[in-house]
Amino acid sequence: MTRMIRIFDTTLRDGEQSPGASMNVEEKLMIAKQLARLGVDIIEAGFAFSSPGDFEAVRRIAQEVEGPVVCSLARARREDITRAYEALKGAPKVRIHTFLSTSDIHLKHQFRMTREEAKQRAVEMVQMARTYVEDVEFSPMDASRSDPAYLCEVIEAVIAAGAGTVNIPDTVGYTNPQEFGALIKRIKDSVPNSRQAVISVHCHNDLGLAVANSLAAVTAGAGQVECTINGIGERAGNTSLEEIVMGLRTRKDWYGADTQVVTEEISKTSRLVSKITGMVIQPNKAIVGANAFAHTSGIHQDGLLKDKTTYEIMRPESIGLEQNKLVMGKLSGRHAFRQRLEDLGYKLTEEDVNRAFERFKRLADQKREIYEEDLEVIVSEEVAKMSERVVLKSFQVESGTNKVPHAMVELEIDGKLVTHSGTGDGPVDAVYRTIAAMTQTKSKLLMFGVNAITGGTDAQGEVSVRLEEEGRTVSGHGADTDIITASARAYLNALNKLGYFSSKQAEGIQKVSLI
Ligand code: MN
């Protein structure tokens, strides 16, 4: 019989801890809705105590997203657990996830607690969380570097206290498949009440083993895997959702396990997360990389033409990857547009549809054929828009051979129109320098990249940038058929985010190092 493994997605919590991947509430909500379409079992929506922005994201996702259980992280502290509950209360399916270290290294140097004190605290906090909600998860942080005998004692105690899920994190990405599989087996076999809880795993990819370690854990009896879209997360990232899900699906015969993920939504979810976080996917990335299904060897191509199964273990359609699908053109009306968005799974308000439709019409004037990917960009930019202090009104730029590039930019800053001109090394540089002078930003441009969304010279160019200011990094993105316009949009998007997060940061506490 096939065992169903629960997929716990932490893109919005651990994933957001990737440098530059901070998201605003609207962006998180948009990703959460897509995760629901993808069919994940649990969404970790944030860490409610850490900032008002995280609190609001958890609250709105719990209220507005149907399907998955919505979870907030909380340290093993009363105020954290209460705050998590305040964000979740009233919503239909919720979970509180609390954690405390069990490794001597962490207990001694970071928490300054004895083993006995830590176990006692873990039990009390699980009991407290259970007074608020039915569904409680506990994580012994740094489990893979903990004394296994003590780890098992803590697990037994928190299950007795009411934890329905116990998650075993490889917080620092230190373990390997043989060792981690044996640890999970030991927990399943030697903790007397282990069958009363789901044993989960949370692996980091510091040594490139997160997915392998998670699969070894599934083989040893784990019933839940924590993962992120595109494997984003702290440092080298987390277990990648698409790899674990396709690994189990493709080799169901071997694992005897599967998930309820709708794999046809994988490609779209991956693109959305990459676009919103600005974290580009390497072309050779398993499952979702641009080359993942590109066969170039002549022998392979010959085989594929004769029979697909000769060299293809997964079909591109199984992750929702089809040839760019032509969806609309210039003559498409508002009704057809709305219908098309609904077919793609977007349920938008009237106001959002109108804004997206205007942008679509402008694009259709510049580009004859509009593809599904173009619509995704329009929706992600127009719907996830936050109120922006700085808005691009217009610009002109002159450049060419033997000419100093010159830009004239008109911005609306806090409702006031401002015009300014400047020069630069190239047209993009001229526009950026002019905008920098107008907004008086002190930020540094760390990364600038351009990508074509679909084929053809009339394709939209998508520009991603990363800015750094006072130790905080943010990413911005913008798309247009004109890459200078896309560049200006991406830069302003990032500048607006820097403003948004510096005001949010002032309200909240500093993010702490997490599981
Ligand atoms: Mn983590």
Statement to judge: residues 47 and 175 lie in one domain: yes
Residue 79 in domain: yes
Question: Residue 106 Cα, ligand 1 centroid: separation in angstroms?
Answer: 15
Question: Residue 387 Cα, ligand 1 centroid: separation in angstroms?
Answer: 31
Question: Residue 254 Cα, ligand 1 centroid: separation in angstroms?
Answer: 28
Domain with residue 13: its CATH number is 3.20.20.70
Contact 96, 85 (CB under 8 A): yes
Using CA atoms, how far residue 414 sits from 387, 392, 410, in Å, is 10, 12, 13
Residue 74 in domain: yes
Enclosing H/E stretch for 140: strand 136-141
Across 388-403, b (16+ Cβ under 10 Å) vs e yields bbbebeebebebeeee
- Output the 3-class SS for 15-61: HHHCCECCCCHHHHHHHHHHHHHHCCCEEEEECHHHCHHHHHHHHHH
Q: Using the 3D structure, point to which of 348, 383, 418 is the last residue of a domain.
A: 383
Would you tell me how many other CB atoms lie within 10 Å of the CB of residue 56? 18
Statement to judge: residues 121 and 269 lie in one domain: yes
Pairing of strands 406-413, 224-227: unpaired
Whole-number Å distance between alpha carbons of 184 and 155: 12
Angle 333-335-338 from CA coordinates, rounded to 5° = 110
Statement to judge: residues 181 and 138 lie in one domain: yes
Residue 162 in domain: yes
Statement to judge: residues 378 and 405 lie in one domain: no
Residue 394 in domain: yes
Query: E strands within 171-240?
Result: 198-203, 224-227
Statement to judge: residues 221 and 147 lie in one domain: yes
Statement to judge: residues 265 and 395 lie in one domain: no
Q: What's the confidence (pLDDT) of residue 506?
A: 47
Residue type, 231: G
Residue 294 in domain: no
Statement to judge: residues 403 and 376 lie in one domain: no
Whole-number Å distance between alpha carbons of 47 and 51: 8
**Residue found under tokens 């007795």:** 160
Question: Residue 150 Cα, ligand 1 centroid: separation in angstroms?
Answer: 21
Report the chain (515 residues): mean pLDDT per 10 consecutive residues.
Answer: 96 91 89 97 97 95 97 97 98 97 95 96 98 98 97 98 98 97 98 98 98 98 98 97 98 97 96 89 93 83 84 91 73 85 82 89 84 83 75 94 94 92 95 95 91 81 88 84 94 86 52 57
Residue 49 in domain: yes
Question: Residue 142 Cα, ligand 1 centroid: separation in angstroms?
Answer: 10
Residue 320 in domain: no
Q: Please give the structure tokens belonging to residue 474.
A: 């943010």
Q: Using the 3D structure, point to which of 236, 256, 277 is the last residue of a domain.
A: 277
Domain interval for residue 408: 390-507
Question: Residue 220 Cα, ligand 1 centroid: separation in angstroms?
Answer: 21
- Output the 3-class SS for 282-299: CCCCCCCCCCCCCCCCHH
Question: Residue 513 Cα, ligand 1 centroid: separation in angstroms?
Answer: 9
Predicted TM-score (pTM) of the model is: 0.85
Statement to judge: residues 366 and 255 lie in one domain: no
| Backbone phi, psi, residue 380, to 5° | -65, -30
Our count of domains for the chain comes to 3
Phi-psi bin for 498: left (phi > 0), alpha (psi -120 to 50), beta?
alpha
Residue type, 357: F
Q: Using the 3D structure, point to which of 358, 383, 408 is the last residue of a domain.
A: 383
Question: Residue 515 Cα, ligand 1 centroid: separation in angstroms?
Answer: 4
Contact 301, 308 (CB under 8 A): no
Question: Residue 210 Cα, ligand 1 centroid: separation in angstroms?
Answer: 11
Statement to judge: residues 104 and 156 lie in one domain: yes
Statement to judge: residues 353 and 432 lie in one domain: no
Question: Residue 138 Cα, ligand 1 centroid: separation in angstroms?
Answer: 13
Query: E strands within 399-511?
Result: 406-413, 416-423, 444-452, 461-469, 472-480
Question: Residue 143 Cα, ligand 1 centroid: separation in angstroms?
Answer: 12
Statement to judge: residues 88 and 236 lie in one domain: yes
Contact 97, 73 (CB under 8 A): yes
Whole-number Å distance between alpha carbons of 371 and 373: 5
Q: What's the confidence (pLDDT) of residue 513?
A: 52
Domain with residue 473: its CATH number is 3.30.160.270
**CA 251 to centroid of chain Cα atoms:** 26
Question: Residue 141 Cα, ligand 1 centroid: separation in angstroms?
Answer: 9
Question: Residue 22 Cα, ligand 1 centroid: separation in angstroms?
Answer: 16
Q: Which 3 state secondary structure label does DSSP give 348? A: coil
Statement to judge: residues 216 and 112 lie in one domain: yes
Residue 82 in domain: yes
